Amino acid sequence: MKFRKISRATSMATAITRAAQAAAALSICSGAAATPSPAPRPPVAEKRPHEIRAPFGAVRNDEYYWLRDDSRKDPDVLGYLQAENAYADVVLAGSRPLRETLYREMVARVKPDQSSLPYLRNGYLYYSRFTPGADYPVAARRKGDMDAPEQILLDMPVMAKGHGYFSATELVASPDNRLLAYAEDTVGRLQYSLKIKDLESGKLLSDQVTNVQPNFLWSNDGRTIFYIDKNPVTLRSQRIMAHDLGSPVSADRLVYEEKDESYYIHLGRTSDGRHLCIRSEATLTAEVRCAPADNPARFKVIVPREKGVFYRLDHQDGRWIARTNKDAPNFRIATARDADIGTGWSAWSDIVAASDQVVIEDAKAFATFLAIEERVDANKRIRLLDNSGQSIVAKADESAFTMRLSVNESFDTPWARYTYHSLVTPQRTYELNAATGERRLLKAEGVPGHDPSNYALERIWATARDGTKIPVTLAYAKGFRRDGSAPIYQYAYGTYGASLDLGFEPFLPSLLDRGIVYAFAHIRGGGELGKAWADGGRTLKKMNTFTDFIDVTRHLVDAGYGAKGRVMAVGESAGGALMGAVANMAPQEYRAIVAQVPFVDGVTTMLDPTIPLVTNEYEEWGNPANKRDYDYILNWSPYDNVRAQDYPAMFVGTGLWDSQVQYYEPAKWVARLRATKTDHNPLVFRTGMEAGHGGRSGRFQRYVAQAEYIAFGLERLGVTR
């Protein structure tokens, strides 16, 4: 029986692959007449009864549960995924010319020798640079100034050879500048290895730790490195360990273990360099413990955890600085002297009071001022507040934009670096002087052939069905006429209180130049308008996220920004849950839906604490182990609400090694859609067999993926060139 199943899956993949090869051959034969072949049949996944039981007794049948293979080795599962990929090749063959055109346009907007802006750390200027055509950068530094000889830290194009996936990140030099710690992943599962390189000899030390979070701290004497050990099953950041150089990993010391499975842990150093800190964070609650960097033997809790109270810390001139939501839903900035910590929030006084109109998203201490990221009317801006209470707000050049603090390693300076960009303006890096207000442009990312003045930005407010006003940022080519005929590309996220900030992407001009209106919907569940906005799309109010997106679509059509029947909806990860929900709830509103690495199996996944991310996200989605949350999640879960109805054309993408949203969620969802939907619109399922949550590694690979699904959607909208 098992042999027959394997043979069926293998032969299915082989047959579809041959059809794809034939289609490819026809497409390159200029002028050759060909008899149209019958439409290929999509793969059909076998149904195998499997009961999912909730603790309180509810039972559901999950007939595609067998597609879950945690080892990623089951030949039945791999055969099905390969068959889907081969079928996708056939279905997408017709859009290949547009796909290739889009890819060429995107890549042409990426500078071949792209490089980062150098920043100063401990006497060295650090930067990365690409050589033309390279997928991976070279990480380098120069001592003192950029005229000094270059020292290559990591030659990533060489390191990546032979790997289908490669990532090297979290490069941290030791205090004496002699050693480099970094994290390496060659699978895409985000299970990194800690490696240490001797920068004088160029050789790797024998000190190597596997299954770590890419987040390290050196002790001030450079003899010890602190790292985060991940749970091998759930991948939860679980324990802080200390490794002494030259000693066996088996001798590493446990510094801290987070027992509560709803928390993750992180490592950080205060901006003044005086303290090493461990952050324990759930979705809505946090606790920080710190130790002197010169003697990190004992980490002391700064403020004990209190459910619903979130805070992060920095340190400046004998006092602690906290960004906290304690008695401040949109956060405030408070301070306490060193001698007063550990006594609770009563010892803390405001530096920046809470506001209903301003959301404080980050704060960084410098010697004489604070740099603050704050959000006003859904736009993120930078404000510098000096120690006397005087403030300077960075200038904005457009109506819809994003500013974000950049790398600021120098503590004793009046200058703060930040980035500025929008949907039509590529990133610019500025520095702002806290004493004089002077703004200096340090670098403007050059985009060949792109002129921001050819495009327009507009912020509008759509009305939701409950009367709530939803901000929507639009971009379109100048000369656009609001006559109700344009195609629309609508994107949103709407989860975790996260604000997906507006930034330029190489694919955007390709849309706008073709007359498409790009709509970025700031729906509830995101953080654009503060905590109330985030809470309005969380747990038992999650349905607002989905209905907001649908109501934005209807508003755009009614207001003449686009045509009914010419809307393409796109979402990723938690935004894929959004795509799955709107596909079930309002399929008639969309001509095409793209769901990348989508979270679509809400009940089954959230019932299983062994799956990565689950225990940390009960405060976001709810815990279906209790009936109230179970019933609510079941009401919107895309997989559980697939029904016999017409669906739009759909493109679903995943990565086999995705650790954030497991590949089998979209695999099961697609299988159930194929077996249930009543239309003949194309449903394409693409699995990256060497990809993780962010797709394949390498700077050009994401444009390959984007060009494929964008071409699929544009053809559905009637845009074929």
Residue 60 structure tokens = 């559901």
Q: Tell me the helix, strand and coil percentages in the chain, rounded to 5.
A: 25, 35, 45
Q: How many CB atoms lie within 10 A of CB 721?
A: 7
Give the three-class secondary structure for 507: coil
Give the three-class secondary structure for 467: coil
560: phi > 0 → left, psi -120 to 50 → alpha, else beta; which?
A: left
Residue 682 structure tokens = 């194309």
Residue 307 structure tokens = 């459910």
Looking at the DSSP bridge assignments, the partners of residue 281 are 264, 286
Residue with tokens 């055109």: 101
**679 labelled catalytic:** no
Q: How many CB atoms lie within 10 A of CB 36?
A: 5
List the one residue out of 458, 419, 718, 700 whose CA is nearest residue 567: 718
Considering 229, 548, 693, 697, which one is annotated as catalytic? 693
Contacting residues for 39 by C-beta, under 8 A, at least 6 apart: none
Q: How many CB atoms lie within 10 A of CB 63?
A: 16
Residue with tokens 């109805």: 645
DSSP string, 232-297: TTT--EEEEEEEETTS-GGGPEEEEE---TT-EEEEEE-TTS-EEEEEEE-SS-EEEEEEETT-TT
Pairing of strands 592-596, 358-365: unpaired
Considering 573, 637, 659, 697, which one is annotated as catalytic? 573
Contacting residues for 643 by C-beta, under 8 A, at least 6 apart: 584, 676
**693 labelled catalytic:** yes
Looking at the DSSP bridge assignments, the partners of residue 685 are 652
d(CA 626, CA 607): 10
Q: Residue 120, class by beta-carbon neighbours within 10 Å (0-12 exposed, 13-18 middle, 19+ buried)?
A: middle
d(CA 167, CA 696): 10
**573 labelled catalytic:** yes
Q: How many CB atoms lie within 10 A of CB 713?
A: 28
Half-sphere exposure of 568 (CA within 13 A, CB side): 25
List the one residue out of 418, 414, 361 whose CA is nearest residue 390: 414
Looking at the DSSP bridge assignments, the partners of residue 548 are none
Residue 249 structure tokens = 């990993």
List Cα–Cα distances, 371 to 245, 365, 382, 501, in angstroms: 36, 6, 7, 19
Contacting residues for 74 by C-beta, under 8 A, at least 6 apart: none
Q: Residue 603, class by beta-carbon neighbours within 10 Å (0-12 exposed, 13-18 middle, 19+ buried)?
A: buried
d(CA 88, CA 623): 36
Considering 76, 262, 658, 697, which one is annotated as catalytic? 658
Q: Residue 60, class by beta-carbon neighbours within 10 Å (0-12 exposed, 13-18 middle, 19+ buried)?
A: middle
List the one residue out of 211, 216, 166 whose CA is nearest residue 197: 216
C-beta separation of 50 from 65 below 8 A: yes
Catalytic residue numbers, as ranges: 573, 658, 693
